[in-house]
Amino acid sequence: MAGDLLDNRGRGDVRWSFPPIHPEGRKFGLIAVAASLFFLILLDWEIVGWPLLILSLGVFGFFRDPERVVPQDDRTILSPADGRVSQIAEVKPPKELSMDDGSGENGLSPDTVTRVSIFISVFDVHINRTPIAGTIQRVIYIPGSFADASLDKASEENERQHILVERMDGVKIGFTQIAGLVARRIVPFVKPGDIVGAGQRIGLIRFGSRVDVYLPSGTGSKVLLGQRVVAGETALAEVGEAALLEGVTQ
C-alpha cells in the first residue's frame, strides 16, 4: 500500500524510525535469542551464550525491511536490490525469460541486451523490489549450485529464480534472484498474474546473494561498476536511453 507522498520541491513529511523486521526473519531471530538464553541462564555458559546473543541481533538486522521513497516516473527502471554493481555486460537473456512458455504471453527478445548485476553482501538489506510497475508474467525457479554469487557463472549455474514483469505499454523487464555461497533459499512474495507497483517488495534471498537485471533493447545502464545502489530508489536506467557514462574512484 502506498505511503506518504514526497517530492523534489521539499513537500512532504520525513520521519525517522527503526526499520521493521520482516516476518520471514522474526522466527530465526527468536530462535537465536532462545538459544542464547538457554546457554546463559540454564547452563551458565557465557562463552557460548553472549556470542549467540550478538548473533541474534545480526539475524534481526539481516531481515530488516526499511521503507523506501520510490520515484514515480514511467521512464525509470529501478534497482531491485541493495548492494554493489559487480558486473555490466552485453549478454543474451536467459532462455527461461525469452522462450515460449505455452502461456500465450511473449517473453523477452532473444537479442543481446545489457545485464546489470548487483552483489548483495550479508550486511545489505535482502528484500528485493520490482524495477517497474506492471503485471508479473513469469516466476521460474531453477535449482542449482551455490558458487560465489560474484562469479559470472553464477547466472547459469547457481540456484536462481527468474521473474518477468510487463508494463501496460508492453515494456518488459526480466530479472533474476541468484543464491550464493551462504544463501540457501529464495523466498518469493509474488506469483504470475499479480499486479505490482514500481518498487514493490517481490521477495528475498537469505544470507548473501546477487540479482541480475536485463534491460530492454536500446537501453543502457545509468549506474557504474562498483557503485552502491538502493532497492526501489536508485535509477538503474531510463527506457530507451543508452548514453555512455564514466566515473572515477576517489
Residue 209 annotated in active site: yes
Residue 186, Cα to own-chain centre: how many angstroms?
11
Q: Are 211 and 159 in contact (CB under 8 A)?
A: no
User: What is 203-242 written as a DSSP string?
Assistant: EEESSSEEEEEEPPTT---SS-TT-EE-TTTSEEEETT--
Rg over CA atoms, the chain: 19
Point out the catalytic residue in the list 36, 98, 209, 221: 209
Beta bridge partners of 178: 160, 210
- Annotated active-site positions, please? 209
